[in-house]
Structure 1
Amino acid sequence: MSFHLDVILTMAASVVAAMVTAPARAEVSELELATLYAAAVQPRWQPPADAQQRYIDLTRQMLQQAQVTLAEAQYVLVVDRAPAVQVSLLYWTDGGADFRLIGAAPVSTGRIGQFDHFLTPTGVFRHAVDNPDYRALGTRNSKGVRGYGVRGMRVFDLGWQTAQRGWGKGGSGTMRLQMHATDPDLLEPLLGSAQSKGCIRIPASLNRLLDIHGVLDADYLAARAAGERIMGSIPIGDVDTPGRYIVVVDSEATDRPDWAVPIR
């Protein structure tokens, strides 16, 4: 269900060293990506086997409800919006029958109770070229916060979505659902707790991994192959089975799990 951590860490140094001295691989396998994840992504968590399976079950339920079939091997990023958890889990699946955990990292989703803050919607969201990604400019707002992180961070745009308002009388509203890095000094240390206006904040190191290797870029590759022009500086990734779905679930956990702590 997941790659053994000792195998991953043993391979990590050699794989990262090879990346520095050699040209990019034509293809990166799921085991190699797990190795790169363990070497590069910080902070990261290590859910035990039973927790991994729980999220696999929730993902399957969400895919079934959305009538989405994973007909081929690919990566799927799963996010738990439960305030007590706030985790992302990157899985590789052979087409829905078997899921293997590549790695897990804390996130921040919507914090309700404040004006213009939405509860991050659950569902299966396709990362498609219809809503082109773009790059953070690294600019600061009036409070000195770089909301999208440092310059060059990729903003994964999932389009306009219906979500629950977290202020006033509540009810449904429309928000732009994005997944992005955040201010490395002020907000990244808060990952693992609900802090956003509804978007999904992820570690900058995870942002880079997904971006550089094209982990969720199946639709972007298909568009390029069809001769479509891709706006922005979106690299051609090197994973051999790119995915296209971000699945947001709610485990409804009320207690912080023991494994929700950084590992080194």
Structure 2
Amino acid sequence: MPEHPKLTAAQAAAETHQALAMRQTFARDVKRRLRVPLADQRAYGQRLQAALGEKNLGALAGEFVILVDRAATVQTLFIYFRAMPGEPWQMIGASPVATGRPGEFDHFLTPLGVFEHTPSNMDFRAEGTMNDNGIRGYGARDMRIYDLGWVDGERGWGKGGRSPMRFQMHATDPDRLEPLLGIRHSKGCVRIPASLNAFIDHYGIIDAEYQALVDSGKSLWVLHSNREVTPWAGRFIVVIDSERKTRPAWAPAPGSKARAKVPKGGDTAD
């Protein structure tokens, strides 16, 4: 992984100011947003740092990082940034997600850890076609599927244990399943809002390694030509479980109207 140049205090402050301007872009472009109190923003920044430290990435800085809390009471994705090691991570924005729901065959708990987003597991795009239950499992046509490759996942059925699972982050059916974001509802992948998917895609939030290939002259069909890649493109998705026992007010569960729209097979879409 390439190292970021060391910055002076003034340079770091300028980098931070420019990178945090992405907060306004997030607020403009992402339709499903969560208003996380500052104390919780800081607490999750500390959880992010602890998870990175466990993988010898404690000095990571100068790039955006995605953090997911798979706790049943939270189900939230955060985007964080810091300019220099040792600085606190600062939140760009947060949105509801759906992670793995145990209790049924072939349903995994979303795996914990630090996952590198790399062209070694090339992303692809949704065709927008419906499955046998009338569900667009990957969302509307052209939504990007962020492929993190095969990982060992914890089985949520039978006697438990671990098995290989294909770990992805992707949009979901915009009409029937996106309203359910905020509760565990997938087979193990991380489902995200369509507008968040487009935001991460358009600005290359975790596309550092993809952009490196483009800069070397390689053409990648999965990348749109009109992208506006941020100078702080990152490469990591971090999944934690805060094990919070009660649901915070800032991460509400979907209401009964959203749950009533779920068709048969709606929780087996990915």
User: What interval of TM-score do these two structures reach, taking the shorter chain for normalisation?
Assistant: 0.7 to 0.9
2:180 paired residue number: 190
If the length of structure 2 is used for normalisation, what is the TM-score?
A: 0.83
1:45 maps onto 2:28 in alignment: no
User: What is the letter of the counterpart of residue 246 of structure 2?
Assistant: D
Q: In 1, are the aligned partners of 2:46 and 2:88 still within 8 Å (CA)? A: no
Match of 1:79 in 2: 68
1:150 Cα deviation after fit: 0.2
Residue of structure 2 aligned with 1:208, choices 191, 198, 209: 198
Instruction: Find the partner of 2:233 among 234, 242, 245.
Output: 242
> How far apart, in 1, do the equivalents of 2:78 and 2:28 lie?
16
- Give the secondary structure class of the aligned counterpart of 1:159: strand
8 Å contact kept, 1:127–1:158: yes
Question: How do 1:25-104 residues align onto structure 2 when only pairs under 5 Å count?
Answer: 29-96=18-85, 97-104=87-94
Q: 1:115 aligns with which of 99, 105, 110?
A: 105
SS of 2:199's equivalent in the other structure is helix
- Contiguous gaps of at least 5 residues in structure 1: 1-27
Q: Which residue of 2 aligns with 1:13?
A: none
User: How many residues align structurally?
Assistant: 235
**1:159: which partner in 2?**
149
SS of 2:121 mapped into structure 1 = coil
What SS is found at the alignment partner of 2:120?
coil
User: In 2, Cα distance between the equivalents of 1:154 and 1:53?
Assistant: 30
SS in 1 for 2:179: helix
Q: Distance in 1 between matches of 2:243 and 2:32?
A: 23
Name the CA distance, whole Å, in 2 between partners of 1:95 and 1:222: 21
Deviations 1:217-241 (A, max 9, x none): 0011112223344343345432121
Task: Give yes or no for the alignment of 1:258 onto 2:258.
Answer: no
The separation in 2 between residues aligned to 1:36 and 1:224, in whole angstroms, is 24
Q: Which moved more, 1:189-198 or 1:30-39?
A: 30-39
1:35 alignment partner, SS class: helix
Summarize deviations over 1:66-111 as a string: whole Å, max 9, x none. Answer: 1124444110110000001100011112144232111100000000
Q: Aligned partners of 2:91 and 2:240: how far apart in 1?
A: 16
Cα shift readout 1:20-40 (whole Å, capped 9, x = no counterpart)? xxxxxxxx9423321111112
The CA distance in 2 between the partners of 1:221 and 1:69, in whole Å, is 23
Q: RMSD between aligned alpha carbons?
A: 1.7
C-alpha distance in 1 between matches for 2:236 and 2:176: 29
Q: Is the 8 A contact 2:63 2:81 kept in 1?
A: yes
Counterpart contact for 1:134–1:233, Cα < 8 Å: no
Aligned mate of 1:218, from 194, 208, 213: 208
Q: Do the aligned partners of residues 171 and 71 (structure 1) sit closer, same or farther apart at CA in structure 2, a change above 3 Å counting?
A: closer
